[in-house]
């Protein structure tokens, strides 16, 4: 198993010409371990086969990201299953160590770590978890942890750090031993004023992946929950087109739009057998409210509507895509649910 981590040196200063990761490797050697040291930039080197093999050997079955870096998460999410056979996981603490999460991607990189992060932000409903995960009070601050060690992190005692990381390690070992195909989200939270920690586990099915017509190389990834909601809405309106708003994130680096929730069509929307017109009554307020409840992590990333026949984007759809590009922060996708397949469309000007 491999591990990508940011490391710190717990001393008055770092030894000359010795990186913190090298010091960690030296300490681990005392325990009979022989970790490889990579002192380059993971974001730059992960996509490169030769460099990646130096810190992610082909025999590794799992690799764990503990860097708390969005850039590293995205770099791992874009690696194909044929490029690296190891299954990626991510572990992190939040809420000053009173919370922690573990993400394990699915088989064949579906869902990815980025998919799972958005899914976590979209599905969290427990008030305690929401407070710890989203409350600005628990944001990152620069503090001292250990003797002479300053870093951008969260204030917590060594006891809290050890307790939560040990528990996350046990959860990871359990998932590795189970070796199931779906992705998984594990969240642990300590109760207020108590040492009791509650753990929840959610299996996450593969995301639907659709190439986007328009800008080269872009895809939309929709969670199975979203696809179920779309199917239910279409079933409620079998004789007319229907639709709504897509909620998720967009990554220019990955050239990907991830959809993890929907906002229902406003009451003034128009449905007919040949077209769907999204209404505006209360829509801006609904979008802002969804953004707030996600801790500011999820956004309006486009719209969707159904077709009664298996046909791709119409001239009206292309005009709508241009309108979306003009009215919303780019890029914005138009997703079409036909009876047997999905289509996705984005105006080229929205992805420059």
Q: How far is CA 314 from the centre of its chain?
A: 32
Each residue of 46-67: pLDDT tens digit?
888 888 887 788 888 999 998 8
Query: CA nearest 203: which of 217, 219, 185, 221?
Result: 185
Query: CA nearest 92: which of 190, 43, 165, 150?
Result: 165
**Model confidence band, residue 226 (pLDDT cutoffs 50, 70, 90):** very high
Which pairs from 260-266 meet CB under 8 Å and 24+ separation? 260/115, 260/118, 260/119, 260/121, 260/122, 260/123, 260/223, 260/225, 260/226, 260/298, 261/122, 261/225, 261/226, 261/290, 261/298, 262/226, 262/229, 262/230, 262/233, 262/304, 263/287, 263/290, 263/300, 264/233
The pLDDT assigned to 140 comes to 47
The pLDDT assigned to 120 comes to 96
Residue 78 has pLDDT above 80, yes or no: yes
| Segment among 80-84, 186-190, 345-349 with least mean pLDDT | 345-349
Each residue of 304-326: pLDDT tens digit?
999 999 988 888 888 888 887 77
Name, in order, each residue with C-beta under 8 angstroms of 225's C-beta and a sequence gap of 6 or more: 119, 122, 123, 260, 261
Query: CA nearest 195: which of 165, 160, 154?
Result: 160
Exposed e or buried b for every residue in 13-37, given b needs 16+ CB within 10 A? eeeeeeebbbbbbeeeeeeeeeeee
Beta bridge partners of 40: none
Give the mean model confidence (pLDDT) for residues 69-87. Answer: 89
Structural domains of the chain ordered from first start: 2-204 (no CATH), 208-351 (3.40.140.10)
- pTM for this one? 0.87
The pLDDT assigned to 20 comes to 65
Structure-model confidence comparison of residues 312 and 8, the more confident one = 312
Structure-model confidence comparison of residues 291 and 134, the more confident one = 291
Residue 40 has pLDDT above 90, yes or no: no
Each residue of 139-176: pLDDT tens digit?
544 444 444 444 445 677 778 888 888 999 999 999 99
């Amino acid at each position: 198993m491999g591990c990508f981590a940011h490391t710190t040196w717990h001393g008055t200063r770092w030894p000359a010409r010795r990186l913190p990761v090298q010091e960690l490797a030296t300490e681990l050697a005392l325990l009979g371990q022989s970790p490889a040291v990579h002192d380059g930039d993971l974001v730059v080197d992960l996509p490169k086969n030769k460099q990646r093999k130096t810190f992610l050997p082909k025999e590794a079955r799992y690799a764990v990201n503990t860097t708390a870096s969005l850039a590293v998460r995205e770099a791992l999410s874009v690696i194909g299953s044929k490029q690296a056979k190891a299954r990626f996981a991510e572990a992190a603490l939040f809420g000053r160590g009173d919370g922690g999460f573990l993400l394990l991607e699915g088989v064949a990189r579906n869902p990815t770590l980025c998919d799972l992060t958005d899914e976590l932000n979209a599905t969290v409903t427990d008030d305690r978890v929401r407070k710890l995960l989203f409350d600005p009070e628990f944001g990152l601050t620069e503090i001292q942890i250990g003797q002479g060690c300053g870093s951008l992190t969260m204030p917590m005692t060594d006891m809290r750090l050890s307790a939560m990381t040990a528990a996350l390690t046990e959860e990871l070992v359990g998932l590795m031993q189970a070796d199931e195909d779906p992705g998984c989200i594990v969240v642990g939270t300590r109760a207020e004023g108590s040492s009791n920690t509650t753990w929840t586990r959610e299996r996450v099915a593969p995301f639907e992946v659709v190439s986007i017509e328009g800008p080269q190389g872009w895809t939309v990834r929709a969670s199975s929950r979203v696809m179920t909601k779309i199917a239910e809405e279409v079933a409620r309106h079998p004789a007319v087109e229907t639709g709504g708003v897509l909620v998720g994130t967009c990554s220019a680096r990955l050239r990907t739009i991830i959809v993890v929730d929907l906002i229902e069509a406003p009451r003034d929307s128009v449905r007919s057998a040949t077209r769907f017109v999204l209404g505006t009554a209360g829509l801006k307020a609904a979008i802002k409210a969804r953004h707030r409840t996600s801790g500011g992590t999820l956004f309006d990333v486009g719209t969707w509507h159904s077709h009664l026949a298996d046909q791709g984007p119409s001239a009206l759809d292309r005009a709508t895509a241009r309108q979306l590009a003009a009215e919303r922060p780019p890029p914005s996708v138009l997703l079409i649910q036909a009876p047997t397949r999905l289509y996705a469309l984005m105006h080229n000007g929205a992805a420059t």
